[in-house]
Structure 1
Amino acid sequence: MDINKIVLVITCAFSGISVIVSFLSLSNTRKIANKNGYINTVTASRERWASSLQSNGSSYLAIVDSIFLQRENRIQKYEELLKYQYAMAISLHDYDDDKELKSKMKEIQNHIYKFVASKNSDSLENEIAEVQKLKDEIYLLINRKHQEEWKKQKYEVALEE
């Protein structure tokens, strides 16, 4: 066998190995890209959800305070409160802390309804104190949910690397 045939056989063998390695690399890169695309989609969706919950929650809590501070427009404020309450409730799931959050918002709704519907709203100090307590608990629940979500997002980003 002459040297040219040996070089040709070796070149063909290495070219074949190169094609196989390239194919495997391309296949692996494609799997990684699909996985990263999925993770990025989920992470972006969760980020929007957390941001929406935080935004609606802060508006909700601000409106709760404003109902007690303003004498006029309480019915409109109550309607606005319901809008944010429902926006938050719809975005929550059936986890225990979500159920607790929904329950506390419902309690606030009941107390504020009594306050808004009452002719003598100055005499409802117990209602106001109870709403303040519930509002603080809601704030802590929303804050905890946001922190947990942030931990999950950091974990997902770590998986990508």
Structure 2
Amino acid sequence: MNPVRVVLATLLATWAALAHAGEARGTLTLAGTTVELKAATALTIQSGGEPITLVLLSEKPIDLKAALATDDPYLTLINDPVLDGVTHAAVFVSSKRTSINAHKAGDSTQYLASRKFGLDATVSGGDGTPVKGRLRSTDKEMSVQIDAEFSTDIAKPGA
């Protein structure tokens, strides 16, 4: 096999997977560890028959390619050991609520935040337009301390 073709194919696959990566600006603090959020990726999942936009905020783009190639991208994503090694905020956006389930690399604790418990969240877009948002913790006792903005396209299955 031609090594140039292998390298080129790998670069193109990586570029395609990251093409959906948007940007994030801000910080996420979990259990005393603060990371600078720079990347946002998003996909649509189903929960109880309702579509939910899942936005992943992290230091580097999270590759959604493998998850999007399955019938259940969310199940694939949450069972991906690579995701466990990344401190990130999983932001769930539906017509009824916005909440965060955050993960600190090397920690099995779930860090949760919602509008009901002090998360100031403004999110817009979707349905063919980039999803944009502003998230801010309003209570210093919340397990998720976030102050961030993001904008990203929503990745589509098979993309």
TM over 0.5: no
Query: Higher strand share goes to which structure?
Result: 2
